[in-house]
Chains A and B, each alone.
Chain A
Amino acid sequence: MITNRITETSRFSTAIFIYIKFNSIIVEIDLVRIELGESMSEKDELLRESLQELKREVERLKEELRRLKESKAEEEEYMTYPRKRVIIGLDRFIGDVIEDIMEGIREEIERAVFIGPRGVVIARGKRRRVRESVDFNEKQAAKLLEALANENRLKILKSLSRGGKYLKELQEELSNISAGTLSSHLNILEEAGLVVQEAVRGRYLITLPGRFALKMVSSLVRYLGEFDVED
């Protein structure tokens, strides 16, 4: 079992290494392409800076991988003595490292997205145009937006996004909303699938779609603010 875990860890490290190497090669290719003078404009200058930044990040990840390998070697040495507690600790350790690395990579990929003359361009590997799908059920969408289109309901969602709450706690926090109105708002949010009430304890919780909807509203408000030309 321990041998299997060590093999899994080695395979994972190799996969991460290949991933980083792959990204590193792509960055190199993109830099060369720019240096060859493919329409040197201000945008390309920005692109070059971003790619340089990405290259630095790849270097940092390489360093992190090296450290991971070293610590893995230490763990392997320690694991020659089969102890259950050590095995669980290692799993958690690997899980945390995976999360950190993946988060780092995700942030970099997000940062490496540019809006160019040909649409959205992702600065890694094969460049392709991304077209957003607009295929949805209008009736369902209208019902969802109706549930969101109320200041007090948005306040309730914001409050629940900080943690599950009992009705009494919500009443205390949103004291400007009467008890009856609060219950009615909660019912609407529940029907729309944005909130769920526990039947046993009675707590209200924001659902996964509820949190997502709240994030979308927040992004939309911020986005509209950025494009506000009135001022």
Chain B
Amino acid sequence: MWKIEPKTFELKEETELFRNSKCYLKVKQGAKVLKISYRDRHVGYAFKGPLEYAVDTVIETSQGALGKSVKVSREDVVLVFMNPLPELKLSEAEADVDFIEEVLDICEELAEERKINLKALRSESKYFTAVFPRENYYEIIVAKENKLVYVSKNIVYITAPPDKNILVSKNNIVVSYKNKLLYFPRKGLKYPLKQVNIVLQQLNDFLNQLKYQIRIE
């Protein structure tokens, strides 16, 4: 089902693949590029080389900001699935068989573990997914206009600006909805569950859209 074009390309100029108010991804000149197809449809690219990305997992509230910014600029590997696909300025390069095999393995694993939405790859709607393979886990960015889901080792961040945010970090769970802020230390809830439920109910529609579910147990 997955197919990687056997030709390896090289990116001729720096290209910004995605940007919204919370994240961006740029791939720099000289990066190796592979074309990825799913069910005979070109759905994305794999890049290996210099790239830069940033994600603001910061929740701004009237009581102050919570969270941190992630900014990375280094040689890295990223698989990007998006619609519409950008026009890249490419030149042919020497075939990198190891990279092709690595990307194929990653694609199969992503599909098997349902880390990416295969349905979206076949649809005509706009989407953007970037997957950074890490040791033992994947760092994933899913974005649609200003909505963003960022999943890393110790962070899950979901935002729908201007007023819906969820941040699950190593120590805390933060939910903000309009001017309401709920902050729970992960070791135990200290806030009335009734208030939590009211806000979580209001977030339901949004979470369902993104196929995420938060349960307070």
Interface residues of chain A, those whose CB is within 8 Å of chain B, are 8, 11-12, 88, 91-92, 94-95, 98, 164, 196-201, 205-212
Contacts and interface: CB of A to CB of B under 8 A. Distances in A.
A198 B68 CA distance: 8
Given A91-B201, A94-B198, A98-B195, A209 B64 contact: yes
Nearest to A161: B64
Contact of B55 (A199, A209, A212): A199
B69 A197 contact: yes
Interface string B23-38: 1100000000000000
B215 interface: no
Q: Is the interface of A mostly helix, strand, loop or mixed?
A: helix
Interface string B46-77: 00000000111010110111111111000000
Given A91-B202, A198-B58, A199-B55, A208 B23 contact: no
B134 interface: no
B69 A211 contact: no
Contacts of A210: 64
The 3 A-B pairs with the shortest beta carbon distances in the complex, nearest first, are A208-B64, A199-B54, A211-B64
B73 to A, nearest CB: 11
A199 B70 contact: yes
A200 B202 contact: no
B22 interface: yes
Contacts of A200: 19-24, 54-56, 69
A196 B55 CA distance: 13
B180 A205 contact: no
B194 interface: yes
A211 B24 CA distance: 28
A201 B60 contact: no
Contacts of B64: 205-212
A211 B61 CA distance: 11
B63 to A, nearest CB: 6
A91 B21 contact: no
Given A199-B71, A201-B56, A206 B65 contact: yes
Nearest to A211: B64
Contacts of B61: 208
Contacts of A94: 198
9 contacts: A8-B194, A8-B197, A12-B194, A200-B19, A200-B21, A201-B21, A205-B65, A206-B65, A211-B63
